[in-house]
Chains A and B, each alone.
Chain A
Amino acid sequence: MSNNDLSPTRDTPAIAADFVGVRVALSPASAVRGPVALVGVFQLSAAQADAIDQYPHRALVVALSSMNGTMVTTPLRQRVSFPDDVQRVASQVRGYFRIDLVDPGEIVPAGPFWVTVSLGEHLSNVVGFAGPPELAGVRAGLGA
């Protein structure tokens, strides 16, 4: 994971200046092969963000669901973080992230799958994806 993964992309959802919470979107180039990336943004008050972690990216929890259950992971928990990973404007802290759900070249599993990201008690919107139906039975793996 490079520093670019903590920058906004063209698919990163836009948020209002007074938004509080997490918003995510998917960045698929193809429905058949990866990469399928989860791009998102969080914005909290400085007090909320500091209560979660000095480096809030570490606390991002990805929940990937299918009808067979939910896989949960904290892909940035062990990441080496720096103060400028987040933007501090006025009394708010904003951070961006990009997490690969399906690695480049990998076949997108049939799904359907639904993904959310939580940060503390803040739960994002739900986004879904599915590969070609003829690949039903192929399970998704989370790329960390």
Chain B
Amino acid sequence: MTGAGRIYRRSPPSCRWAWPLVLLLSACGTNAASQPRKERELMTEFKFKIDRDGSFEPEAFWLRYNNPRIDTRGTPEIISGVGIAINAPREVQFSEGTRLSPKDAQFIVCVATRFVYDMMGCGSSFMDHLTLVVVDARTHQEYSASALLADNSNIRDNLEPFPRDMAEPETDHTNTTIGEFLRANLAKMLDLPAVETEYIVYASLGPYRSNTLTVKLVRRKPSP
């Protein structure tokens, strides 16, 4: 008889007193390591950081400039949980015309989302279902635009379609967390009047809403 066997056979009667303790530990121990990632992400409070005074300009190289779905410095940093966070400059300047022009006004909104794969039936493309909501704080005129309108790159359109006989992937993404970014110029997406005002901006996706931000539109002072 091995030592291990001896311990096994002897331990049940001598450890009866410990079962309540074991049950208590397993109940209270939150066993985070064994808990599926999906459950953990859904249970965690949504936290994020934004820097409204940071730069909202895209980086200089081509891919980053042309693809609004790549992270930039103004993108919110999601720390925990699932949801949507947005960031925008405090002030946007414009100088000409009766309507905002994307060449003249950089009304940039950076969006970051984090969800678990296939939540709300979205698969891995949550940003395609997102809507940006803009409200003029003075006139209360509301505007909205699908995030799809922000896509100014042809990268997606130019992708070769997958071959039909391609094997189904075997990877289980059930518990994969999906993070997406978007950099949108609202002056391009919406027909906004070129007047000094304040806009309240937030994003909406199914039952989720982002934080709300106020962005001030001011007329650019002519250079002396």
* Docked CA distance A36–B205 (Å): 21
Q: Kindly report which residue of chain A lies nearest to residue B203, judged by CB atoms.
A: A70
When A123-B202, A126-B207 are in contact, do A67 and B212 touch as well, CB less than 8 Å?
A: no
B141–A74 touching, CB < 8 Å: yes
What residues on A are CB-neighbors of B212 within 8 Å? 118, 121-123
Q: Kindly report which residue of chain A lies nearest to residue B200, judged by CB atoms.
A: A121
* Docked CA distance A69–B133 (Å): 11
Find B120's partner among A58, A59, A67, A74 (CB 8 Å cutoff): A67
A65 part of interface (Cβ distance < 8 Å): yes
A88 part of interface (Cβ distance < 8 Å): no
Find A74's partner among B122, B140, B202 (CB 8 Å cutoff): B140
Minimum CB–CB distance for B94 against chain A, Å: 22
Question: For chain A, which range describes its interface: under 10, 10 to 19, 20 to 34, or 35 or more residues?
Answer: 20 to 34
* Docked CA distance A66–B160 (Å): 30
What residues on A are CB-neighbors of B129 within 8 Å? 67-69
* Docked CA distance A73–B209 (Å): 16
B135–A61 touching, CB < 8 Å: yes
SS class, residues of chain B in contact with chain A: strand
A120–B143 touching, CB < 8 Å: no
* Contact mask for chain A residues 56-100; partner B; CB cutoff 8 A; 1 contact, 0 none: 001101010111111111100100000000000000000000000
What residues on B are CB-neighbors of A74 within 8 Å? 135, 140-142
B93 part of interface (Cβ distance < 8 Å): no
* Docked CA distance A59–B140 (Å): 5
B67 part of interface (Cβ distance < 8 Å): no
Q: Kindly report which residue of chain A lies nearest to residue B147, judged by CB atoms.
A: A69
Q: Kindly report which residue of chain B lies nearest to residue A126, judged by CB atoms.
A: B207
B137 part of interface (Cβ distance < 8 Å): yes
Residues of B173-224 contacting chain A, CB below 8 A: 200, 202, 204-209, 212-214
* Docked CA distance A77–B135 (Å): 12
Minimum CB–CB distance for B150 against chain A, Å: 14
What residues on B are CB-neighbors of A69 within 8 Å? 129, 131, 146
When A61-B133, A67-B122, A118-B212 are in contact, do A73 and B142 touch as well, CB less than 8 Å?
A: yes
Q: List 14 A-B contacts (CB under 8 A).
A: A52-B137, A59-B135, A59-B137, A61-B140, A61-B142, A63-B204, A67-B121, A67-B122, A67-B206, A71-B144, A72-B142, A74-B135, A123-B202, A126-B209
